[in-house]
Amino acid sequence: MSIKVLLLSQEKVHAAVNGATKMLYYFANGLADRGYEVVVAYPTDENPTADPNLNPKVAFYNLNYIDMSKYKSKRRRYSLKELIMLKLCKNALEKIKVHDIGNRMEYVVDREKPDVIIPFFAHVTAQLVFGKRYEIPIIQMYHTHPKVYHAKVSTLEKKPKDMAILFNHCVKKITALQLFFPSYAEYMKPYYSGKICIIHNPVKIPQEKVDLKTTKKKLIYLSRIDKNKGQNSLIEAFSMIAHSYQDWEVELWGDFEPQKYLRDIENLIAKYDLGRQVRIKGVTNNPTEVFMNADIGVYPSNFEGFPLGLSEALAIGLPCIGFETATGINELIKDRENGLLCEYSIIDLARKLTELMNNQPLRIKYGDNARKSVEQYSEAAFWAKWENFICDVLYSGKKK
């Protein structure tokens, strides 16, 4: 008898560009290939009845297009605390459309009767469980450090306090959590006492390996491009040393989110007169080729979950630089083993760039270690952990 898994995602799933969207398709299609019955549901305006990125064996529901005129919630039973939260967290509840989306998710659950439900984000979990009771095990995925959701003050995200209160309440109703690193589990101890499994993102180790004995004089950034990712920090740091390294280039690869940040980066390049050395390259369908033509990967994010772009760079043998304070980044980059971690400082980032740019033997040493450092995150290990976790939750875990 196969296991039926319902995957619930967020709005604006439109293509396999950002890491979480890539993971949705990879996970759904991979489960289907392994014999699971898979159902995917999310609200979108792009795909009314199907998602071409999904395996044909995967059932799809567009939550925006479900006819709810004859459907009434069978599970909406507020606890006393939730009745209070209806006022306390009113703005948060309205912002993520908890009542409307939650009822649509309930419709899918009642129709499909999954064995396990896996929401991809904390706000998706809130949509599913606020004011509702499910006997079906629920495993919440995290695609970033959990503090992004659970800290009551988040300057970078400008998350309102009531949103964190909502998430901190809803996570207690979940059967189990999936987190990327043990340090993330340690962070969750004040918020959650249930079952937690540490499961990394899958890293594909390519046959190709970058040739660091041939100097290309190129710094590379490849991932989604937004303010949190810190491309502005890279440009600021490079501007301090560019006059001494006029034959070196910086390439920024990825999709800009939002487009305003593209204008900010363009203005910064113009401010420092770096148009000849810093290039915005856009999206690539061949990241291996991009990495093969670089000497150093630079990932100056403020924080990450499990950074896919960085892991891909390390897998191809590229030494990388990032901030020691950046979660996710500081888990994958081992300082002076496979790259360099620097202080959260433009000056120190420029200093570390200079150190690696000047030292080819060091780049080769770190590059050799880089590939080995991510072997533990292989696709085989990813699937073994997930399949064991699902079975553990279904057959030995109990909903708290």
Closest of 329, 326, 332 to residue 369, by C-alpha:
332
Would the pTM count as exceeding 0.85? yes
Contacts of residue 74, defined as CB under 8 A and 6 or more positions apart, other chains included, come to 106, 110
Q: What pLDDT is attached to residue 17? A: 58
Query: What does pLDDT average to over the chain?
Result: 92
Count other C-beta atoms under 10 Å from residue 294's C-beta: 24
Beta bridge partners of 198: 179
Number of H helices, E strands in the chain: 16, 13
Distance CA 255, CA 232 (A): 15
Closest of 270, 215, 218, 263 to residue 239, by C-alpha:
270
Q: What pLDDT is attached to residue 1? A: 63
Q: What pLDDT is attached to residue 255? A: 84
| Eight-class DSSP state of 344 | S
Q: What is the pLDDT of residues 48-78, one digit of tens each?
A: 888 889 999 999 999 999 999 989 888 888 9
Q: What pLDDT is attached to residue 400? A: 38
Amino acid identity for residue 27 in this structure? F
Q: Are 287 and 312 in contact (CB under 8 A)?
A: yes
Structure tokens at 316: 């191809």
Q: What is the pLDDT of residues 243-284, one digit of tens each?
A: 999 999 999 998 877 778 889 999 999 999 999 999 999 989
What is the dihedral sign for C-alpha 189, 193, 197, 202? negative
CATH of region 4-202+378-395: 3.40.50.2000
How far is the CA of 326 from the CAs of 39, 239, 305, in angstroms? 34, 22, 9
Cite the residue boundaries of each domain of the chain with CATH code 3.40.50.2000. Answer: 4-202+378-395, 218-376
Q: What is the pLDDT of residues 165-176, one digit of tens each?
A: 999 999 999 999
Q: What pLDDT is attached to residue 155? A: 42
Distance CA 114, CA 137 (A): 9
| Eight-class DSSP state of 227 | G
pLDDT tops 90 at residue 47: no
pLDDT tops 90 at residue 338: yes
| Eight-class DSSP state of 283 | -
Q: What pLDDT is attached to residue 153? A: 52
| Eight-class DSSP state of 142 | -
Q: For the domain with range 218-376, which CATH number is right: 2.60.120.380, 3.30.70.260, 3.40.50.2000, 3.30.2020.30? A: 3.40.50.2000
Strands of 249-253's sheet, edge to edge?
278-282, 249-253, 218-222, 296-299, 320-323, 339-342
Q: What pLDDT is attached to residue 129? A: 96
